[in-house]
A and B are shown apart, each in its own frame.
Chain A
Amino acid sequence: MHIMEGFLPLRHCIGWSVASAPFVAYGLRTINKGIKENPEQRMLLGVATAFTFVLSALKMFSVTGSCSHPTGTGLGAVLFGPAAMAPIGAVVLLFQAILLAHGGLTTLGANIFSMAIVGPFAAFGIYRLAQALKLPFGVCIFLAASMGDLLTYVTTSLQLALAFPDPVGGFAASFAKFAGIFAVTQIPLAISEGFLTVIVFNALARLNPQELKDLNVVTAKEVQA
């Protein structure tokens, strides 16, 4: 759920843009370093951005029977790394604002923070933690994708609650209200995205194990398992 153009107060737009800028700058620095070592990464990241854009336009069936779109934060974070996902997400969100009128230019900073920073970093952190706990590969991927998705929407709720505290209950009541509204659709959706990402990685491990090994996503042992 992107926050639409003009919805946030000006101070919040500036604040979230300032908060997102260091992550995007760090991501760009990482990408520039990577391109110097492997020039083919320039093309890879451009094509990966298009992939993320197309992925977010796919229709996905939720476990409640409704229909929505995957965010792809978990998949992208595991495949390309969370640092690269900040600039990739920034470009995707800019394109969604200009090509689809989803989100906006003034709310770009806030949307980048929730979808391209919190989601991917949380997904990657959970993936690594689950790996460290020696959980099965499928469970690691499921947790990363579904929690990355869910935390994205928790962040959006937080952003809306900070911008519009409830006149009676303040920030806490406002956060409970927005999170409650999102929970109805987003919890089933996060579970669906978790399952979908597991199916994607299973298919990749079955049909294209070499690519996964090249990206250090899995070890040879995990592919065989």
Chain B
Amino acid sequence: MLIEHSAYTNRWRRVSPAAKGLFSLCGLVAAYAAATPAAACGSAAVLCVVTVLGAGIPPLRYLRVAAPALFFLAVSALSLAVSLKIGPSMADVSLHLARTGFQRVAQVCGRSLGGLAALLFLAMTTSLIDIIGLLRRLKTPEVLLDMMTLCYRTLFVFSEAVHDTLTAQSARLGYATMRHSMHSLGGLVATITVQVWQRSQALHVAALARNNDGPLRFLEQVYPHSTRDICLAVSGGAALVALVRVIS
């Protein structure tokens, strides 16, 4: 996972997640506050530069992470640009480019780029454990936090189990044809489904052995310059929103 790798290796790893969350929120506000596509693209560019130059994320990795979302945006923009005209009969259906819709497509694309850049800033600079810690401070329901923590800790175990099983099945030509592929994938999912119960039982027994009496508790991470980081993030974020409003 490229995002996960960046979240643990970037320059701002030790910066308070609250500060990064606030700056990302300001980025989202800027994307929605932009009245013109150019302003929204400007906001996206600023966020992109801050992520790459500030947090030290390699540009190529940034592009690789953004590529699927950009592909979705391109397809969606094309869908928005094309207008469907339905005539009186069902056979009288035609597609044409709606010229009046171009401004709307540009606005949506600009906003999406701004939003994506804000999301990538948070995702590529902040680990999920830090985000869960932040959500804990924001009083998110305990059961939801427990689900997130357990999911995060188990998904790599499952990923490895899936990888190992796929390798073993492939070695036995389990994915040689489409019919074999479907059968092998069905077997794989069934095996992993059973592991859900086996692993959860094992975790429950392990938790009981440690006198677990309910929610999972963790020590909160301490960030040395939290107040300073939050002040900087709010100032930077406010400046970004103001800039977007000015160039709109």
The residues of A with any CB-CB pair to B shorter than 8 Å are 1-2, 4-7, 10, 28, 31-32, 35, 39-40, 42-51, 53-55, 57-58, 60-61, 65, 70, 75, 79, 87-88, 90-92, 94-95, 97-102, 104-106, 160, 164, 166-169, 172-174, 176-178, 181, 192, 195-196, 198-204, 207-208, 211
Contacts and interface: CB of A to CB of B under 8 A. Distances in A.
Q: Which of A57, A99, A169 neighbours the largest number of chain B CB atoms within 10 Å of its CB?
A: A99
Contacts of B141: 28
B35 interface: no
Contacts of A42: 143, 146, 150, 204
Interface string B61-86: 00001101100110110011011111
Chain A: interface secondary structure? helix
A47 B200 CA distance: 6
A100 B120 CA distance: 10
B92 to A, nearest CB: 12
Given A6-B28, A200-B190, A173 B144 contact: no
Interface string B189-228: 1111111110111011001000000100000000000000
B151 A105 contact: no
A177 to B, nearest CB: 4
Interface string B176-199: 001001110111111111111101
Contacts of A100: 1, 3
- Chain B's interface: helix, strand, loop or mixed, by majority? helix
B31 interface: yes
A60 B188 CA distance: 12
A87 B112 contact: no
A195 B196 contact: no
A46 B116 contact: no
B8 to A, nearest CB: 12
A28 B197 CA distance: 20
A60 B181 CA distance: 8
Nearest to B85: A168
A39 B32 CA distance: 43
Interface stretch (B50-58, B152-160, B233-241): B152-160
Interface residues of B, number: 80
Interface in B82-108: 82-86, 98, 100-101, 104, 108
Nearest to B177: A61
Given A106-B115, A173-B83, A200-B190, A50 B65 contact: no
A130 B138 CA distance: 43
B164 interface: no
B244 to A, nearest CB: 13
A5 B79 contact: no
A97 B203 CA distance: 27
Contacts of A174: 84
Nearest to A207: B190
B115 A164 contact: no
Interface of B: 1, 3-4, 28, 31-32, 65-66, 68-69, 72-73, 75-76, 79-80, 82-86, 98, 100-101, 104, 108, 111-116, 118-120, 122-123, 128, 131, 141, 143-144, 146-155, 157-159, 162, 178, 181-183, 185-197, 199-201, 203-204, 207, 214
B79 A178 contact: yes
Nearest to A55: B189
B192 A54 contact: yes
Contact of A176 (B84, B108, B144, B207): B84
B143 A32 contact: yes
Contact of A173 (B86, B155, B197): B86
Contacts of B201: 40, 43
Contacts of A45: 143, 147, 150
A91 B187 contact: no
A199 B128 contact: no
A4 B147 CA distance: 24
B144 A6 contact: no
21 contacts: A6-B115, A7-B115, A40-B201, A44-B204, A46-B150, A48-B200, A50-B155, A88-B147, A99-B123, A101-B65, A106-B115, A164-B108, A167-B100, A168-B85, A196-B185, A198-B186, A199-B190, A200-B186, A202-B186, A203-B190, A207-B194
A167 B83 contact: yes
A168 B188 CA distance: 48
